[in-house]
Amino acid sequence: EIVMTQSPATLSVSPGERATLSCRASQSVSSDLAWYQQKPGQAPRLLIYGAFIRATDVPVRFSGSRSGTEFTLTISGLQSDDFAVYYCQQYHNWWTFGQGTKVEI
């Protein structure tokens, strides 16, 4: 099983700042990596797939990148609506999620 490890568990950021979230795969997943946003009481929302492709209607301040088995979600100019929990997920070999990063004020 491919294990996805996200860091940090919690990220404290001020509105307008940049947030950088990390996700590491235990083995190669190529670029088969997605990012989701989940707000309290809501279902997850797809943000990024293919490591860096924004899903429909996702603002450009969300961007994804890859370096080997390390993946990064960057949120530029955090807005109040962005404070949430973010999960990465690999779909290269079956499907596994990371444990999540909470972005808080």
Partner 1 sequence: VQLVESGGFVVQPGGSLRLSCAASGFTFNDYAMGWVRQSPGRGLEWVSLITRDGDTYYADSVKGRITISRDNSRHSVFLQMDSLRADDTALYYCAKDGSNGYFEDWGQGTLVSVSS
When the beta carbons of 3 and 77 are compared against partner 1, the nearer one is 3
Give the shortest CB-77-to-partner 1 separation in angstroms: 25
Backbone phi, then psi, for 64, in 5-degree steps? -120, 150
52 binding partner 1? (CB under 8 A): no
Closest CA to 35 of 64, 75, 13, 1: 64
66 binding partner 1? (CB under 8 A): no
Give the shortest CB-84-to-partner 1 separation in angstroms: 13
Give the shortest CB-43-to-partner 1 separation in angstroms: 4
Burial-class residue 81 by CB neighbours within 10 Å (0-12, 13-18, 19+): exposed
1 binding partner 1? (CB under 8 A): yes
Closest CA to 37 of 21, 17, 15: 21
59 binding partner 1? (CB under 8 A): no
- With residue 34 as reference, give the H or E element that holds it: strand 33-38
Residues that bind partner 1 (CB under 8 A): 1, 32, 34, 36, 38, 43-46, 49-50, 55, 87, 89, 91-92, 94-100
